[in-house]
Every structure is written in structure tokens, then in C-alpha cells.
């Protein structure tokens, strides 16, 4: 999964201004929410809404997926499914997993900070993202 569209920024997507890692540069969806991901009865996955696409380290889409799907102010952090996602994503590539997993926390924080600064969010969304930031800082 991690090598899809890896490499050159051939479609001139905006580069992440806060990407500190510059590893495995790739096209990023950058808005992987439940409303943008569809799974049909055959378990085929479709992703829509690439309006926020960027170019940067592949780690950011993993951090965003974790933040949207497995961090909740009401339910806490779903470590079991975070680990399942990470294991599924990296597969047998233990060296890549070892190199990138420690960076996921920082990528998630940078993404939340970017949203809080760059995006006009409602007060409730600001509270949600600030709570997610706190969960990330204290538990990951």
C-alpha cells in the first residue's frame, strides 16, 4: 500500500509546508475521513474528494487516518486497531516500520496544528481537534 504514487510530484500538488521528514515523498489525500472512504460488499476501497491533496511524507496520511478513526474524546484511543492498521500498512517491511512508526505521533501533532492555524473551523471542531491533540500528546 505505501508505494502508491510514491516519487515525483508529477501533478504539482502543494507541498506540505511543515513536513520535517521528507522521506518517501508521495501524493497525500490529506483528508481521509469516513465520508471520503467507501468500502463495497466485495471489500473494494474507493477514496473520493482530493480537494485537499498535498505532496509530502507518506507518514502524514497514516497519522491522519489514526487521528480520524482511532482517537475519540468519548472513547479514547483504540490502540488495537491502530496496531492493526500499522501492521497492515507496513506488512513485512520491518525496517521501514521501525523507521517511520516513531514519527507518526509528531506527524499527527503537526497536522492538527496545521488545521487549527490554517483552516476556519467552527468552535466545536476546534474543541475536537484540540482534544485529539491532547490525546496524541498524552497517550501515543
Q: Which CATH number covers residue 69?
A: 3.90.1200.10
What is the pLDDT at residue 20? 87
Grid coordinates belonging to 123: 468552535
Mean pLDDT by 10 residues, the chain (140 residues): 56 89 89 90 91 93 93 91 96 96 95 89 92 92
> Is residue 78 assigned to a domain?
yes
> What CA–CA distances, in Å, run from 9 to 32, 45, 111?
20, 24, 20
> Is residue 100 assigned to a domain?
yes
Is residue 31 within 8 Å of residue 51, measured between CB atoms? yes
> Is residue 134 assigned to a domain?
yes
Amino acid at each position: 500500500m505505501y508505494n502508491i504514487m510514491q516519487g515525483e510530484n508529477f501533478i504539482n500538488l502543494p507541498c506540505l509546508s511543515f513536513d520535517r521528514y521528507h522521506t518517501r515523498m508521495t501524493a497525500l489525500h490529506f483528508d481521509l475521513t469516513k465520508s471520503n472512504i467507501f468500502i463495497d460488499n466485495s471489500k473494494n476501497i474507493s477514496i473520493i474528494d482530493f480537494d485537499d491533496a498535498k505532496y509530502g511524507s507518506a507518514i502524514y496520511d497514516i497519522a491522519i487516518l489514526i487521528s480520524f478513526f482511532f482517537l475519540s474524546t468519548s472513547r479514547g484511543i483504540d490502540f488495537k486497531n491502530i496496531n492493526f492498521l500499522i501492521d497492515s500498512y507496513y506488512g513485512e517491511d520491518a525496517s521501514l516500520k521501525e523507521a517511520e512508526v516513531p514519527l507518526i505521533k509528531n506527524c499527527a501533532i503537526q497536522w492538527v496544528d496545521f488545521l487549527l492555524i490554517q483552516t476556519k473551523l467552527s468552535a466545536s471542531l476546534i474543541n475536537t481537534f484540540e482534544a485529539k491533540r491532547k490525546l496524541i500528546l498524552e497517550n501515543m
